[in-house]
Amino acid sequence: MYDVVIIGGGPAGMSCGLYAGRAGMKTMIVEKMFSGGQMSTTNEVENYPGVENVISGAELAYKFENQARKFGVEFLNADVTGVQLEGAVKKIVTSQETLETKTVVFAMGTVARKLGLEDEARLTGKGVSYCATCDGAFFRGKDVAVIGGGDTALEDAIFLSRFCSKVYLVHRRNEFRGAKVLQDQVLQTENIEICYQMVAEKILGENRVEGVVLRQAENMAQRQLTVQGIFVAVGSDPSSQLVQEVLELSKGGYILTDDTMQTSIPGVYAAGDIREKQLRQIITAASDGAIAGFNAALYATKFVPFG
């Protein structure tokens, strides 16, 4: 039996594992893809305290994982298919095995939100992407569009501008929501063209993306862009399907916790972007993870098998 099982290997999950491992807890992190979560897909991280030079998200994730392993944290690459959280012994059903544990921490983060266009799913992986860092290199020398107006969209546009011929940044409003420093960089980049107050209405292409039709938000006028890639950066939704009927959630589907990161079930915690909170950044995910790891370890030391 484990003391702490953490579902999700992003910065929240690995920070949680680090604190639980340092507390002497037998700890397992279950991650279905790769350590780091969305952090691994971030091209540049420059606002993590103590890291003075710009570092890639993948490199920072590697450091997180190595540090967690240093304190005995185990990693399991598997998909979680079910959970049993009531009672003293919690069970985590995975695609490989069923784990028994004293405490559980949910740190599955969020998933990219879709545009909801007719051919979006059909052309995903054929020009439609939700990760510029992952797929940007496939579009070297080509024209692409980035849809969105927050930090991620601005960062994606800047990143893609380094090797794409042209980057169209499509935003439904007349001003961006992203950080001022990113806005300034976008405005200073010659091969980025901003399409204000426009929304994507139709993706063009049979076997691959060939263009996108935009609609002007106010007067309904249309504009067609000839692009080979469309990068969607319009926000994200919590990966909370696993606990929808089990834990108390916000209207947006985020897990509700108290200040100790405990959920509506004792011994069950949540950390990182999956939790209802104001700011979702690597540092806040790591902070949540530390608090959850500390309190999960505290709960595990008071474990009563049949209590």
Q: Which of 3, 79, 119, 134 is catalytic?
A: 134
119 is catalytic: no
Q: Yes or no: say if 13 and 104 are a contact pair by the CB < 8 Å rule.
A: no
DSSP 82-102: EEE-SSSSEEEEESS-EEEEE
Name the pairing type of β-strands 222-225 and 211-216: antiparallel
140, burial (CB in 10 Å: exposed 0-12, middle 13-18, buried 19+): exposed
Q: Which of 119, 131, 151, 237 is catalytic?
A: 131
128, burial (CB in 10 Å: exposed 0-12, middle 13-18, buried 19+): buried
Q: Which of 3, 16, 135, 156 is catalytic?
A: 135
Q: What is the CA radius of gyration of the chain?
A: 21
C-alpha 120/C-alpha 274 separation (Å) is 25
C-alpha 232/C-alpha 230 separation (Å) is 6
108, burial (CB in 10 Å: exposed 0-12, middle 13-18, buried 19+): buried
The half-sphere exposure of 297 on its side-chain side, counting CA atoms within 13 A, is 19
Torsion of CA 185, 187, 191, 197, to 10 degrees: 130
Please enumerate in sequence order all residues whose Cβ is within 8 A of that of 263, keeping only pairs 6 or more positions apart, or say none: 106, 247, 248, 255, 256, 257, 269, 270
183, burial (CB in 10 Å: exposed 0-12, middle 13-18, buried 19+): middle
135 is catalytic: yes
Active site residues: 131, 134-135
